[in-house]
Amino acid sequence: MEMNRRKFLGTSAGAVATSTLVSKRSQAGPNDVLNVAVLGLNGRGASHYQAFAGAKETRVAVLCDVDQTTFQNAVSQVESIQGSAPKVETDLRRIMDDPSIDIVSIATPDHWHALAAIWGCQAKKDVYVEKPVSHNVWEGRKIVEAARKHGRVVQTGTQNRSIDGVREAIQFLHDGKLGHVYMAKGLCFKRRRSIGFKNTESAPSTLNWDLWVGPAPMQDFHQNLVHYNWHWFWDFGTTDMGNQGVHQMDIARWGLNKNTLPNSVHGVGGRWGYQDQAETPNTQHTNFQFDDSVLQFEVRGLHTHDETGVKVGNMFYGSEGWMVINGSNWEARSPDGDLIAQGDGGSGSDHFRNFIDAVVARKPEMLNADILEGHLSSALCHLGNISYRVNRGLTVDPDSETIVGDDQANQLVRRSYRTPFTVPNQV
């Protein structure tokens, strides 16, 4: 893959060239300023460049997006925060080959997360990658392998891991205050309206459509893909379970203290209430069975009530009581319903700050959401989606991270990649 990337760069002028910057390298000390490239400027991308522009240890050196219309506003924001304007680039491969970039921060669509993160690790850059970290189970494990092999600090964008109230609640569970926690439930009740239908057309001249599609199968452009509704198409997104829901999936797995994939998965649901161009379900219920506990996850994209005051959050059930986590707040009750503990986490701590501190210290163990945590939680979402797509329960081998005795389902554990955007077997 490295050869493919370099061959491209040797033969293409590219849309916009990056600057030559003073390299601080990735072994930077506490007095060095680390150069950051932010990949993907829509959605979460603004949070990325604002955070890095505002930290004294980092500066946003390059903003990268395949859509040139995103640059003006983003450059203006960064300059107003850090006092200097970043350069812009449309091709992330140029950034990977720029030795002056120390950190790549990835806020692209889901189908680009893994390959961009792996390329970053191979280029000896530290990586912040949004959730879900992967588009399928196999490539998520490859990011973990790349991070370990190349000694990189790789943070997953599951910000709840850095919220004080959530950390306090999980510690309460892990300290055994509710006895044996036998069930966790994650809720993602966000109303998602119909996206309607859009006809295929030529991509805008300001958009590099080939690069946007990247690892996915090439297909015609339509406006339901750019810049948000790609979430609801299998080639690019991961349903709302992998979009919003991965945050609550991560908390559920964290609370259960499970550091492997489950033994079995069974997901059901559908796209109900309207007809539109989207492919993914707006309603899903998925059960994940571990040796001594179960994780239930529910997505409701239509009109619905909350559960115990929660629409996006978590519940835990133990032999000595139960707990609700809603944002940064939590409360635990006895089997009789008496309040036994509660917490208000306030605004919590800064997930980007945690990442920067780990990079400066060169200590991945400082991360609140190391890439392995991101891989496991993302993989749970992928497994639930696979079960839904093949319409049956799955038996999982947690060691090999494959599905037992089901060739059709196993084909969805990994995708076919479009050359040259291929996640390599050897990272």
What are the tens digits of pLDDT across the range 182-240? 999 999 999 999 999 999 999 999 999 999 999 999 999 999 999 999 999 999 999 99
CATH of 2-161+365-369, one of 3.30.300.160, 3.40.50.720, 3.40.50.261, 3.40.1050.10: 3.40.50.720
Task: Give the Cα-Cα-Cα angle 4, 378, 330 (nearest 5 degrees).
Answer: 145
CA distances from 238 to 60, 111, 148, 228, 248 (A): 29, 9, 26, 12, 15
**Percent of the chain, pLDDT > 90?**
91
Check if the beta carbon of residue 236 is closer than 8 Å to that of residue 230: yes
Tens-digit pLDDT profile for residues 374-410: 999 999 999 999 999 999 999 999 999 999 999 999 9
- pLDDT above 90 for 19: no
Q: Which residue's structure tokens are 């990735």?
A: 26
Residue 348 confidence (pLDDT)? 60
Q: Tokens standing for 11?
A: 């033969």
Confidence check: pLDDT of 25 > 60: no
Residue range(s) in the chain whose domain bears CATH number 3.30.360.10? 163-348+375-410
- The answer to whether residues 352 and 368 touch, using CB atoms and an 8 Å cutoff, is no
User: What is the tally of helices (H) and strands (E) in the chain?
Assistant: 13, 16
At 198, which amino acid appears?
K
- Rounded distance, CA 164 to CA 166, Å? 6
Instruction: Write the pLDDT tens digit of every residue in 319-351.
Output: 999 999 999 999 999 999 999 999 987 656 699
The tens digit of pLDDT for each residue in 148-171 reads: 999 999 999 999 999 999 999 999
What three-state secondary structure class fits 235?
coil
**246-300 confidence digits (pLDDT tens):** 999 999 999 999 999 999 999 999 999 999 999 999 999 999 999 999 999 999 9
Q: How far apart are CA 199 and CA 215, in angstroms?
A: 23
Report whether pLDDT(8) > 50: no
Q: Is 26 exposed, middle or buried (0-12, 13-18, 19+ CB in 10 A)?
A: buried
Residue 1 has pLDDT above 50, yes or no: no
**Cα first-last separation, the chain:** 9
Q: What is the mean pLDDT of residues 66-92?
A: 98
Average pLDDT of the chain, as a whole number: 93
pLDDT reported for residue 20: 32
Per-residue b or e along 59-86, where b marks 16 or more CB atoms closer than 10 Å to that residue's CB: bbbbbbbbbbebbeebbebbeebbeeeb
Q: Provide CATH 3.40.50.720 ranges for the chain.
A: 2-161+365-369
State residue 32's pLDDT score. 84
Whole-prediction pTM = 0.93
Give the tokens for residue 176. Answer: 């055994």
The pLDDT assigned to 345 comes to 75
Q: Which fold has domain 163-348+375-410?
A: Dihydrodipicolinate Reductase; domain 2 (3.30.360)
